[in-house]
Amino acid sequence: MKKSTKVISIIIIFFFIIAAVIVARTMIGNHFKKKFSKRPPPGIIVSVVQEKLFQNTIETFGTAIAQNSKAYRVQASNINGKINLNFNKMIERKNSVVNQTVKGIDFLMDKNKVTVFKGIGSFKDVNTINISGEKKEEISAKYTIIATGSKPASLSFIKTDKERVITSTEALKLKEIPKHLVIIGGGVIGLELGQVYKRLGSEVSVIEYADRITPVMDSALSRELTKVMKKQKIKFYLSHQVNKVERKGDNVTVTAIDKKGVDVSFEGDYCLVSVGRKPYTDKLNAEAAGVKLTQRGQIEVNDYLQTSASNIYAIGDVVRGAMLAHKAEEEGVMVAETIAGQKPHIDYNLIPNVIYTWPEVAAVGKTEEELKTTGVDYKIGQFPMRALGRSRASGDTDGFIKILADSKTDEVLGVHMIGPRVADLIAEAVVAMEFRASAEDIARMSHSHPTYAEAVKEAALAASDNRPLHI
């Protein structure tokens, strides 16, 4: 064979090898991409991995996905090995985060030269406080701010043994995942904890006295959240009056009367009593300082959060209003500024309320029911998350943004949201309402694309002559 012929033959063979390798890499790459590029099921968190294999990029998405669609799930056949939940590790991490936060507060106290006395404080008189801790102490103060917070409430006929009949305090430090968690109360805390344990594998039943969950929020939010949580297989029993809770061994029986007057019972291994919270004023000895309490144990205050004793103020869960940490924070600043001689102000209508389920729920301002009751002429702008590009991309298509505006002035009166990251989005509504913005003002603002926040703009457009862009 001639030398030139040999060279040509080698070149041809080389190209055949290259072509075979390319085809093989493409086929294998597509196999891996098809196998691993699906989104994980709800509750599974996968680290973000981007690895070049052959000619294709293989990706796993690192988010806790609320999407139930099978199209976005990692199938069991696609996973090598068994996936187990380490519940103890989960609780350990929760404790770690809490401890870090507490240490952060201790650091801030030291940084700002604040002296901390640890123990139970009670009034001796209007200027003197007794502290019973590791050692008994007595301190005097010109001004005092009561910020003792709240504790879980119960019903008079229910004995919370803190083992099987529990409150939210015990629910956050269980040693095992309940098989069937029966929740009394369809409010914020019950729904948040109920969804947590449902995602961990518990059967969850919610018993609510009212005819809907979250009864103080806009009814549209209640309906949507109910629909979403039912899809997640959480069971709801509305208009049910609980009248008995009994524990026998590891089993708890909850008896109630349904809306037809029929006795019904629910069997579970744990019962979470979530019927609200009450002010923690039991050991305050408020009478010694001349501080008046209401029948509910709340401290009476004026518009400046001043108690019946002029040098004593109260803030947070021990006074009227929503029991929210950020509300207490604003009140603390207000009192400090008042004592310093300034003239602060809080608009309680603009304190946002958030439910940390998934999807999240957030609201600020007036509900539609409140506007109807007061006879305000209003208009509605609503935009569904399913029409949003970012929501479709992330698989979080449940929910909507609802804006209520004055029919005559177009001023925004209330904003109600359910969807992904609305706990953050509600801040936009608070800012707008603080400056008494109109729906058109929000509609004319440029919102980044693609973002969840675009839904706010679309809802504002819907409230402004019904002209949303994407529906």
Which residues form the catalytic set? 449
Written as six digits, the tokens of 449 are 């694309």
Q: What's the CA gap between 25 and 43, in Å, rounded?
A: 33
Judging by DSSP bridges, how do beta strands 203-207 and 360-365 pair with one another? Answer: unpaired
Give Cβ neighbours of residue 120 (< 8 Å, ≥ 6 apart). 131, 132, 133, 283
Laid out side by side, the sheet with 241-248 consists of 241-248, 251-257, 263-268
Helix (H, G, I), strand (E, B) or coil at 368: helix
Say if CB 437 and CB 466 are below 8 A apart: no
Site of tokens 């479709």 = 392
370 HSE (CA, 13 A, CB side): 14
Cβ(22)–Cβ(47) below 8 Å: no
- Secondary structure letter of residue 43 according to DSSP: T
Residue with tokens 């969840």: 452
| Tokens found for residue 392 | 């479709």
- 404-416 per-residue burial string, b: 16 or more CB within 10 A, e: under 16: bbbeeebbbbbbb
CA 470 to chain centre: 28
Do you know the residue count of the chain? 471
Output the CA angle 243-244-248, nearest 5 degrees.
Answer: 170
Beta-carbon contacts of residue 226 (< 8 Å; ≥ 6 apart): 212, 213, 236
Candidates 439, 438, 417; CA nearest to 427 is 417
Which residue type occupies 313?
Y
| Cβ atoms 283, 265 nearer than 8 A | no
